[in-house]
């Protein structure tokens, strides 16, 4: 089965019955004819249904940055991207109000250094 994972900004949520249609906007790099790279917005349509549709509609709102995953299937009008995993992406600035130096010192204190392993010999063993 073919699967996908995409992250971007929610642009549209439309629920009809047990089906939820989702539009997500993501940036992609495009190279011009002169060789310069620029970023363009791309709209990708997705669909989900059942309990997952109700959960996504109740939890997320338009404008949030999310990471979606699921599977690809043949639909009535082409290919459907069916969502079965969804997670909110929280930016680092919004997560913590502590200065970065304090957080780094706490992380360094929690992580113990691992003992160094002996280097592995490569190739043939030399005769003594």
**Average pLDDT by stretches of 10, the chain with 128 residues:** 85 87 88 87 87 87 89 80 82 50 42 48 59
- The domain that contains 22 carries what CATH number? 2.40.50.140
DSSP 76: T
* Residue 61 covered by a domain: yes
Count how many domains the chain has. Answer: 1
* Residue 87 covered by a domain: yes
Domain span at 79: 3-29+38-93
* Residue 76 covered by a domain: yes
Quick: pLDDT tens for 54-78: 888 888 889 899 988 888 888 777 7
* Residue 54 covered by a domain: yes
């Amino acid at each position: 089965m073919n699967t996908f994972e995409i992250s971007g900004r929610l642009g549209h949520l439309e629920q009809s019955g047990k089906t939820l249609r989702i539009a997500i906007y993501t940036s992609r790099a495009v190279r011009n004819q002169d060789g310069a790279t620029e970023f363009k917005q791309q709209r990708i349509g997705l669909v989900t249904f059942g309990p997952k549709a109700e959960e996504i509609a109740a939890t997320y709102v338009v404008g949030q940055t999310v990471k979606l995953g699921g599977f690809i299937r043949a639909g009535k009008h082409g290919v459907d991207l069916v969502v079965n995993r969804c997670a909110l992406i929280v930016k680092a600035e919004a997560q913590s109000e502590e200065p970065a130096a304090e957080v780094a010192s706490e992380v360094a204190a929690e992580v113990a250094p691992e003992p160094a392993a002996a280097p592995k010999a490569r190739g043939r063993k030399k005769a003594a």
